[in-house]
Amino acid sequence: MPDLNAILNATDDNASLPLREVRLGKEPALVLLFTSDVDEVKLHFEEDETVRSYVPCPGDRCPRCFLGSAPGEFYLLPVVNIDSGDVEVLRISAGRGPGALLSLLRPHLQAPEPSQNVLSISRNGSRYRIESSKISEHADRGTRAIESFLAERAEGLQLVSVFPALTAAEMSELPRTARKLEAVGGYRSTGVARDGR
């Protein structure tokens, strides 16, 4: 008869949870920085109710780009989310200026020991706020989560995997996008037009 504790321990050690995005809103998210290494990505926000998320721009033949909707440029930064105890992805717009997350993060990333501070990050519309405080001596610093994340990263884990990946053809079939493409005409998601030409 199998031992449930052994099964749970094996699951904890061998199965990795999918990455999640840190959700920012009026209620602050508490995070720990452990690296300044980011992935640069281009993302569209897909409003179609079946997706309702940022999605990576598929590049060539992207229907959203064809319709004149340029993707946003973002940096993806892995952080430890204090709430979950996991490494999660902080999506940072490449835009700078007062109230922009990238600008507000700079002094914290450039601090002598950034991992010694807990950042409280909140967002109100497009304006962000960051407060920093020294991490408690006895607090969990996410060491196991970081080690696990770094091992997965070494095996090829991409931070962009936090978002649903759609091909150009899949994006073009989403109802809202399909209606727009049909209205303007001329779009091909592959080398063959819809009418076979």
Instruction: Report the percent of the chain where pLDDT is more than 90.
Output: 70
Q: What is the reported pLDDT for 4? A: 62
In the chain, the DSSP E strands lie at 29-33, 39-46, 53-56, 72-81, 86-93, 117-124, 127-134
- Average pLDDT of span 7-17: 50
pLDDT per residue over 14-36, tens digit each? 445 579 999 999 999 999 999 99
Apex 109 CA angle, 145 and 45, nearest 5 = 75
Q: What is the pLDDT of residues 80-119, one digit of tens each?
A: 999 999 999 999 999 888 889 999 999 999 988 888 899 9
Determine the pLDDT at residue 8. 53
Cβ atoms 94, 73 nearer than 8 A: yes
- What is the token pair recorded at 108? 């914290």
Residue of 21, 157, 43, 165 lying closest to 90 (CA atoms): 21
Cα angle 112-101-90, degrees, rounded to a multiple of 5: 80
pLDDT at 197: 37
The confidence band for 2, taking pLDDT boundaries of 50, 70 and 90, is low
Distance CA 76, CA 116 (A): 21
Q: Rounded to whole angstroms, how far apart are CA atoms 132 and 137?
A: 15
pLDDT at 193 over 60: no
Burial class (CB in 10 A: 0-12, 13-18, 19+), 35: middle
- pLDDT score for 196: 39
Position 1 confidence tier, pLDDT thresholds 50, 70, 90: low
| 103 or 5: which leads in pLDDT | 103
pTM: 0.84
Average pLDDT over residues 44-53: 91
Tell me how crowded residue 119 is: count the other CB atoms within 10 A of its CB: 22
* Mean of the per-residue pLDDT values of the chain: 88
